[in-house]
Structure 1
Amino acid sequence: MNVSGESSYQEEGLLGNSTWGYSYYHQNYTLPPPLLPDKTSTSKPAACEQVHIAVEVFLILGIISLLENILVITAIVKNKNLHSPMYFFVCSLAVADMLVSVSNAWETIIIYLLNNRQLVVEDHFIRQMDNVFDSMICISVVASMCSLLAIAVDRYVTIFYALRYHNIMTVRRAGCIIGGIWTFCTGCGIIFIVYSDTTPVIICLVSMFFAMLLIMASLYSHMFMLARSHVKRIAALPGYNSIHQRASMKGAITLTILLGIFIVCWAPFFLHLILMISCPRNLYCVCFMSHFNMYLILIMCNSVIDPLIYAFRSQEMRKTFKEIICCYSLRNACTNICALTAMIHCGPVNVGNYNITIHVKKGSGKYVSHVNVMQIGNFKQDLKGLTYGVKWDHIQILGGKDEGRQMIG
């Protein structure tokens, strides 16, 4: 997908997809692949020259997105307070974001290897690889749309059927919905590979995008126009929980932000597909399509931004993120401490953000290490007897010379 035009390279159209790059591949305007040196064509103005984006940009965004979305999935799995249908749908969205970033990053690596002759394969195999990557993009966008729609429906039920929500939207039902979403998306990806040379595939994908926007707009209109009056009606009912209602509205607002970012980041890509079909030879259309790599960067940015929205909007997610990151940092610190105690007898060392003094004494054939850790900020960790929110200033490491050392609270 990254290569959306013809190339002077002998393997013409390297990873130039027959669907995404159709308009470029079949016209006189020569648009260079993104990872090759730009070659200005005299048939189009300089303003339409394709923007060169370094390989490192795709790789960095792909790695950041991968790590962020793994953190989101880990947080949802780890924290039982997040074991709800909405967050399971968020988990599905995170997987879709991960898929699109990883596929773009891998495609960039392969294009780079091909263009530098570090990887030599047959032309037909290159086409098949390109179809697979573009199929992953197709699966990702459909999964993102379906996951956003599922979250919207979940918020709608939460607001308008608050008293029956747990009967309507059960965890099992949410799991079935997610399974159906990914089965449907996989089917779309297979169809895309089989019929990648046909225009109806693009029309179908664009139609799904606008259909999703129409349904979401209808849900939002109903949700926000009637939410206030609905809250007033059920406020007088026994068992009403105003905190729960405010949380539901906050979830709906979070979804609105997610949807807005999704539209901003994906709209240029879908406009690109529309122009490929409607005006493939128009100079202005070609000029817009020549910046295809910028639209891919926007798509990857969407995958990077989504986890930040979760962290900014959800206190529970923020708390879990901190716990995971701090736990990982502390584990690394303790590993470094254990290594250092084998080499030094006494003296201050710096491990991460902590000023640690290690005192080693020998007795009964064992090393006993007392490690003083000066707390920085309000570090919170639940670690073998340490409770959340309790300030602490030292840990103790005990262990045999042969069996290693064990950290205790």
Structure 2
Amino acid sequence: MMILNASEVEWEEFSGASPLHFLDQSDPPLTPEAPPLSVWGVALCVSGTVIAAENAVVVTIILANPSLRAPVFLLLASLGLADLLAGVALILHFLFLFCVEPSDWSELLISGLLVTSLTASLCSLMGVALDRYLSLSYALTYGSGQSRRCAAVLLGLVWVGACIIGAGPALGWHCLDDPTSCSIARPLTRTYLSLLCGGFLVVVVVTLHLYAGICRVARRHAHAIATQRHFLPQHQSYASKHSGGRGFSRLAVILGVFVGCWMPFSLYGLLGDASSPPLYTYATLVPAAGSSLLNPLLYSLRNRDIRKVLVHSCCPHRPSQQAYQPTDV
């Protein structure tokens, strides 16, 4: 039974109807309609499709070529798989939002998939930085079979941990039953997202520390080589003349994109709450998801071996050039 407001009661008395309106049990129940398709929705679907497609190409190239089994390629395959899952999550979000009636289980599925993919992607980026540091510090021994086994075990632990963390919302760590505990990203609780973003910040700091070590080792090696070739005097710093070299410029771009994509959401997840404007959440989450779009361009497709395999797959009759090792910082 539903009691109408005062204006509706006066209208009902004037019309001769009873002020108490009983719901007709034969009326069909009202079902929520899907929101109208918007430009943002189309952009979401298109970006998810592009992310999934380009990362699927990277993963296929690495897994289909037995020669690409060095630790760096295992890490790039893990990074591509994580970003591929992020693209699939964006596509599923579009489908559940505009094509299928959303439900609690769909929200938990998408949020868990996004958390898993973003966690694995960020940890894989840290692994890429660790690989570059070790390859410079231990150039003679790194890349052996033992190193590949260690990299495979490390990636296995990363993915097991990412899946466990991503399963948190589905296992009950959500705010669907208690909206007051929601964070800036529903259905994740504030406690859950705070721990997640705190872990993200730790990984970001460790990755930046590794890249700082890469710069120190690269400059020391470059100065030693230049000194041996009598290219510079002993007292003159090689880095002072070549600090703007192409290798360090690429490294600066990688670090800028890395920090710009991950730092905003990590900080806002710690400081914001459910009362914060949703626009701020999208403004910080979009760069984190956009890193999945840039990672193949900054890491995988910059690798000369991967590019050579890709070009040979697209143009099999093109004469191959002499193989050479990648020299990117």
TM range (shorter): 0.5 to 0.7
- Measured at CA, do residues 142 and 77 of structure 1 come closer, stay the same or move farther in structure 2, by a change above 3 Å? same
Identical-pair percentage: 25
- Measured at CA, do residues 260 and 143 of structure 1 come closer, stay the same or move farther in structure 2, by a change above 3 Å? farther
Letter in 1 for 2:164: G
Q: In the TM superposition, what are the counterparts of 1:200-349 in structure 2 within 5 Å? A: 200-232=191-223, 257-277=253-273, 280-281=274-275, 285-286=276-277, 289-310=278-299, 313-326=302-315
Determine whether 1:199 maps to 2:190.
yes
2: CA distance, partners of 1:184 / 1:254: 31
String of CA shifts for 1:291-334, please: whole Å, max 9, x gaps. Answer: 5445554344322222222465223222222222345xxxxxxx
- Measured at CA, do residues 164 and 252 of structure 1 come closer, stay the same or move farther in structure 2, by a change above 3 Å? farther
The SS at the match of 1:170 is helix
1: CA distance, partners of 2:253 / 2:164: 29
Kindly report the root-mean-square deviation, in angstroms, between the aligned alpha carbons of the 2 structures.
3.4
Q: In the TM superposition, what are the counterparts of 1:115-264 in structure 2 within 5 Å? A: 119=101, 126-167=103-144, 170-194=147-171, 195-197=173-175, 198-232=189-223, 257-264=253-260
When the two structures are aligned, how many residues end up with a matched partner?
Answer: 262
| C-alpha displacement of 1:139 | 0.7
- Measured at CA, do residues 258 and 77 of structure 1 come closer, stay the same or move farther in structure 2, by a change above 3 Å? farther
Letter in 1 for 2:266: F
1: CA distance, partners of 2:225 / 2:197: 40
String of CA shifts for 1:101-125, please: whole Å, max 9, x gaps. Answer: 11111111111024xxxx4x7xxxx
Counterpart in 1 of 2:57?
71
| C-alpha displacement of 1:88 | 0.9
| TM-score (ref. length: structure 2) | 0.68
2: CA distance, partners of 1:79 / 1:258: 26
String of CA shifts for 1:165-204, please: whole Å, max 9, x gaps. Answer: 2359621221111111101111111224331234221111
Unaligned runs of 5+ in 1: 1-9, 15-34, 39-51, 238-248, 328-379, 382-386, 390-409
- Measured at CA, do residues 73 and 178 of structure 1 come closer, stay the same or move farther in structure 2, by a change above 3 Å? same
Counterpart in 2 of 1:26?
none
- Measured at CA, do residues 75 and 37 of structure 1 come closer, stay the same or move farther in structure 2, by a change above 3 Å? closer
| TM-score (ref. length: structure 1) | 0.56
| C-alpha displacement of 1:274 | 2.9
Determine whether 1:84 maps to 2:70.
yes
- Measured at CA, do residues 236 and 210 of structure 1 come closer, stay the same or move farther in structure 2, by a change above 3 Å? same
Which has the larger share of strand?
1
| C-alpha displacement of 1:259 | 4.7
| C-alpha displacement of 1:144 | 1.1
Do the aligned partners of 2:44 and 2:94 also contact (CA within 8 Å) in 1?
Answer: yes
